[in-house]
């Protein structure tokens, strides 16, 4: 679900942004995707049964979903600042 929303939000912002700003947005998004992947790797390595008990899988999912959720919110706020189509 969040992956679909993230994809939609990226397309929406990409539609509004033009020229050099679009290049900066695409670069920013690529950097965020690298950050997101590294953050998820950290969460997967750190939130283990040994470290956090039987609820570790729920904690992992919560943290990884929160990363995507926050990016979706941020991108929709970016898009909201542009004039309506």
pTM of the model: 0.85
**pLDDT of 84:** 74
Tokens of 73: 């919110």
Helix (H, G, I), strand (E, B) or coil at 47: coil
Rounded to whole angstroms, the Cα distance separating 74 from 32 reads 12
**pLDDT of 2:** 87
The label of the residue with tokens 């470290």 reads: 51
Q: Are 25 and 17 in contact (CB under 8 A)?
A: yes
pLDDT < 70: residue spans in the chain? 85
**pLDDT of 85:** 63
């Amino acid at each position: 679900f969040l992956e679909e929303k993230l994809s939609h939000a990226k397309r929406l912002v990409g539609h509004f942004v033009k020229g050099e700003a679009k290049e900066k947005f695409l670069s920013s998004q690529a950097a965020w995707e690298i950050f997101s992947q590294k953050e998820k790797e950290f969460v997967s390595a750190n939130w283990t049964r040994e470290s956090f008990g039987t609820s570790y899988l729920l904690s992992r999912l919560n943290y990884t979903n929160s990363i995507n959720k926050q990016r979706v919110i941020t991108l929709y706020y970016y898009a909201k600042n542009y004039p309506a189509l």
